[in-house]
């Protein structure tokens, strides 16, 4: 589901999903292998992800199965991330925005040489890794704060024990 992206996307990779199909459902769905680049095309338009597991998608996603030899998958991921606002503007409005394959096929974007794509991906991946590390650090500090707040408010810990010079 598209809501899985908000919950389970870590960096470029969608790590899990909340819903599963039976074998019969798999036969009726669009099965994709882990590592497939997908792009949301309905509701939340233009959000890319790389599947971290084998699974099926519904019609709210577009899948990129066979990329041209002149295009790196991770470069395309970052390109879609960059173009997300633009893709939303291109998507016709109805009940909700909907980006279709006709619109996407008509999208013209510059494709740098593979070596340049590789350098761009390397730089952006390094930044993503730094962001993930900082987010993990922030989450650890928030957990520590919540724990200390609870202990202080329930008198399991006294301020003078935490900061002796305040007493």
Domain ranges of the chain: 1-110, 112-167
pLDDT digits (tens, 9 = 90+) for 42-99: 777 888 999 999 888 877 888 988 888 899 999 999 999 998 888 877 776 665 666 7
Q: Which residue has the higher pLDDT, 147 or 19?
A: 147
Bridge partner list, 120: none
27 and 10 in contact (C-beta within 8 Å)? no
Task: Find, among 82, 96, 71, 92, the residue nearest to 39 by Cα.
Answer: 82
* Locus of tokens 């935490």: 162
Say if domain 1-110 classifies as CATH 3.30.420.40. no
Q: Is the pLDDT of residue 167 over 60?
A: no
Strand-pairing partners, residue 20, are: none
Q: Higher pLDDT residue, 46 or 122? A: 122
Task: For residue 142, give the H/E element and its range.
Answer: helix 114-153
């Amino acid at each position: 589901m598209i809501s899985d992206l908000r919950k389970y996307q870590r960096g470029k990779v969608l790590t899990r999903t909340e819903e599963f199909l039976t074998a019969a459902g798999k036969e009726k769905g669009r099965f994709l292998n882990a590592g497939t680049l997908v792009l949301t095309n309905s509701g939340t338009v233009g959000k890319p992800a790389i599947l971290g597991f084998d699974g099926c998608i519904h019609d709210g996603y577009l899948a990129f199965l066979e990329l041209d030899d002149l295009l790196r998958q991770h470069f395309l991921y970052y390109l879609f991330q960059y173009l997300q606002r633009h893709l939303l503007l291109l998507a016709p409005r109805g009940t909700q925005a909907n980006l279709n394959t006709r619109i996407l096929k008509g999208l013209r974007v510059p494709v740098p040489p593979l070596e340049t794509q590789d350098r761009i991906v390397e730089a952006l991946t390094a930044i993503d890794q730094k962001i993930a590390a900082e987010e993990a650090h922030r989450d650890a500090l928030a957990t520590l704060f919540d724990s200390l707040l609870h202990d202080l408010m329930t008198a399991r810990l006294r301020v003078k024990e935490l900061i002796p010079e305040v007493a």
